[in-house]
Structures are given as C-alpha cells and as structure tokens.
Amino acid sequence: MFWECLLVHRNFKENKMENRRLFLKKGGVAILGLGIVGIPDFVRAAVLDQKRTSKNKILICIFQRGAMDGLMAVTPFKDKHLKNARPGIFMEAGNGKPLIDLDNTFGLHPGFSDFESIFRSKNLAVIHGMGSPNKTRSHFDAQDYMENGTPFQKGTRDGWLNRLLNQKKLNHNTFSGVSLTSSLPKSFYGDFPCLAVRDFNDFKLKGGAGKISLKQSAESFEELYDLTTDELQKQTSKESFEAIKMVEKLNFNNYSPSSGSKYPVSPLGNSLKQIAHLIKSDVGLEVAFAESNGWDTHFNQGTDSGVFARNANDLSKSVLALWNDLGPYQDNVVIMTMTEFGRTVKQNGTNGTDHGRASCSFVIGKNIAGGKVYHTMSDLSVENLEDGRDLPVTIDFRSVFNEVAEKHMQVTDSKLLFPEWDGKNLSYFL
C-alpha cells in the first residue's frame, strides 16, 4: 500500500468504496508506522494544526488481558477456605509476611506494592468481585462482551468507550480517543473516529517498493494525495497526515517525564509514558487505552516471584510512574484497570489457576473514595462459590464503568452507554 497504515474495522467487509465520513463512522483509524523522518516540507505545511484544549476530564483504561487472578492480587488472607484451596500459592500478611495488609482483611500482592502509597492516600479504590454476568470462560468472548458493554449481545458493532465519546458530543480531533495498541480495541469501535498507534516513537508514512513514494516530485499536498487511486487509501491519508503533523510537534522521542517518574522499560511502561505526554501537551485527549498482557496463569503462577509477580510489578510501577508524572493533571484524570474474568479459587495440579469468574479492578483518581476495598464477598467455602469453584460475580462491571462515565466524564445516559443494563452505580466516587 502507498500508506503504511492499518485500517481497523472488523465489520467493514462489503463496500471498500464507502466515502470517508461513513468509513470513519464505522471504524476508526489505526496507524502503524515507524518514525516521521523524511516527510517533505510541503506535506508538513499542508496539514492544519490540531486545535488544543486544556483541562479535559480524561479517562485512562488499562485492559489486563488473559484474566488476572483477583484473589492473588488482593487476597482475603484470613479466609481459611482459600488457604486450604491454594496450598502452593497462598500467601500470608503481616509480621514480615509477603502480603501488604490493607485493612486487616485484604492483603495486596507484593508485586503491586507501588499501589500501596496511592491506596493509603485514598486515591485508589479496589473493586473486588467484579465481572460480567455472562458466564463464558472464553477469553475472546469475555473481552468482547466487556469492551462492547453488552454481555449478552455478541454482535454489538460499537464499544462502550466509543459510545461514551459520542455522547460527549465532542468536536472530533485526532487525539480525542487514542489507543496505544497495534490495532483498534473493540472498546473504540463505533461512530466516533478513534486512533490506534502502537508506538508514537516509531510513527511514519513510508512508500513501499514499486509503489508511489513521498519522495516523488509533487508541487502540493493535493497533487501528492491525488497520485493514489485507491479510495480507501485516500480516506485514510488525510487522517494520517493530520496525526503525523501533531506527532512531529510533540516530539515523543525527546519527552522527559517529571522528576521522580521512572517508567519501566516495557510495552506498558512505554504506552503510559506516551499517554502522559499527550495529556500534558493538552492536545484534547479524552479517553486513552492501553494493554497489559500475560495474565493467563494456568501453570507456575508463583507467589512473591514468578509470572504473576512480574506482571503485577510492571503494571503497578507503570501506573505509579504515570500518576506521579501527571502532577497537577491528576485532578482531571481517572485510571481504571479491567480484566475479562478471574481465576478458580482452587489451584490446579501445576501450581496455577484456571479460568474463573470474578476478579478485581483498580481505580485511581483524586475524586475517588479510595483507601477501601469495595466488595460483598462471603467466605470462600465451596457452598458460596459459583459452580462450586469460582469467586462469584457480585459487582457487575457496568456498575463500575457507568459510574466513572457519569461522575468523571459527565455522560449521563446509561441506556445509550449500556443498553441492556438497568442496575445501579457502585458509588465509589466522592
């Protein structure tokens, strides 16, 4: 292709010649590329500057893909039934033990130790027993249901974050909704155009062998634009150039976080650092999305070390760096984690845990009623478990998502946001 771009639109199958407006309404644009070096001056001059705004309310969503074990992340460490069910991976709290005692009932996994200071300052709430009312244990289906916000409608064409942006009736700019991922997540599918970029440090347009090159002679952007004959490429290229112009001005490669903010050298750390830069540059960001992968712990889950601990350490250090980096922007930002489901109460024969039901979410913000674990858990005796094996879902994820939409993002039509839901918000905001 002329543009080294990826157009992400799973439902776009039939008419490749849709006009630009309809295409953007149905999909969104994901641009993969590396660098912005070598773009001619006439191209730069042809692109309008993005309108910058300030003091937006901003939501940052981090999807923990693979299904995080919420009972290991935040453990009801006094529950004897859990201890008996997990002889190889259970941890104790207090008196030099690995778990961090949060409230004399729940202990924070040591891999999440960087969350403790935010919790103690009452800017972090733990939502425990959260999940979907749909009982699927398929990663793909459960993720789709959570991102669509319709747990009993598999074919929903748009995502809840896109519906949120649409309800805000924003004047779209390139950076209203941004996902730091290689393809557009289902949360962002829908009428509101969103952008997915794997890495702003590696962002460019590039001509391919035998294709039209940006180095070809052309006297204007319009002439260069007209050289491509594929209508779908044309639909995308204007959006691409707009994004590139702004990325060049932001200079991601030379971004310096605030003093004391040290991001892990990891995909998540890099993503959150770039989100911080977008926020502090006041480009009009409203919703940002990032991913933390590797939470499918079927074997050798570990305790205070191992695969779970490594993932927890990366997530908490990345989020703490972001939170500290934001400085005064903290007042306008909420960070929320989510995962498709939890793990079984009982460990399996390979010191891991299998697909379960409820997990937990971490929500961070200045207006959060934090320093608390929100839950309605009973003890984990077999008779209290779902199907005799899982932590039951006692908090519908929509009651958590809808509250952040209403209280933080000022979007109030829950019927449009979550059309199948008639429940109540959890009430974890001040």
pLDDT tens-digit profile of 84-139?
Answer: 999 999 999 988 999 999 999 999 999 999 999 999 999 999 999 999 999 999 99
Asked if 360 contacts 376 with a C-beta cutoff of 8 angstroms, the reply is: no
Beta bridge partners of 60: 288, 335
Confidence (pLDDT) at 167: 92
Report the length, in residues, of the chain.
430
Q: Is there a contact between 189 and 157 (Cβ–Cβ < 8 Å)?
A: yes
Rounded to whole angstroms, the Cα distance separating 395 from 358 reads 8
- What pLDDT sits at residue 55? 76
State the sign of the Cα–Cα–Cα–Cα dihedral 194, 196, 200, 206.
negative
Tell me the one-letter amino acid at 353: T
How many Cα atoms sit within 13 Å of 324 on the Cβ side?
18
β 359-365/124-131 pair status: antiparallel
d(CA 316, CA 180): 18
Relative to beta strand 372-374, strand 359-365 is: unpaired
C-alpha span between 270 and 276 (Å, rounded): 10
Strand boundaries in 275-417, DSSP class E: 287-292, 333-338, 359-365, 372-374, 395-396
pLDDT at residue 408 in the model: 97
pLDDT at 260: 85
Q: How much is the pLDDT for 173?
A: 78
What values do phi and psi take at 93, rounded to 5?
-120, 155
Q: What's the first-to-final CA gap in the chain, in angstroms?
A: 51
Tell me the chain's radius of gyration from C-alpha atoms. 22
Parallel/antiparallel/unpaired status of strands 29-30 and 195-196: parallel
CATH number of the domain at 50-198+263-417, out of 3.40.1170, 2.60.40, 1.10.20, 3.40.720?
3.40.720
Q: Which residues contact 18 (CB under 8 A, 6 or more apart)?
A: 12, 26, 235
- Give me the residue spans of the domains in the chain: 50-198+263-417
Closest CA to 69 of 304, 356, 348: 356
pTM: 0.84
Bridge partners (DSSP) listed for residue 108: 74, 100
What is the pLDDT tens value at each position of the chain, 430 positions in all? 333 333 333 333 333 333 333 333 334 544 443 333 333 333 333 333 344 445 789 999 999 999 999 999 999 999 999 999 999 999 999 889 999 999 999 999 999 999 999 999 999 999 999 999 999 999 999 999 999 999 999 889 999 999 999 998 776 778 999 999 999 999 999 999 999 999 998 875 433 333 333 333 344 444 544 544 455 444 445 666 666 777 888 999 999 999 889 999 999 999 999 999 999 999 999 999 999 999 999 999 999 999 999 999 999 999 999 999 999 999 999 999 999 999 999 999 999 999 999 999 999 999 999 999 999 999 999 999 999 999 999 999 999 999 999 999 999 999 999 999 999 999 999 9
Answer left, alpha or beta for residue 388, where phi above 0 means left and psi between -120 and 50 means alpha: left
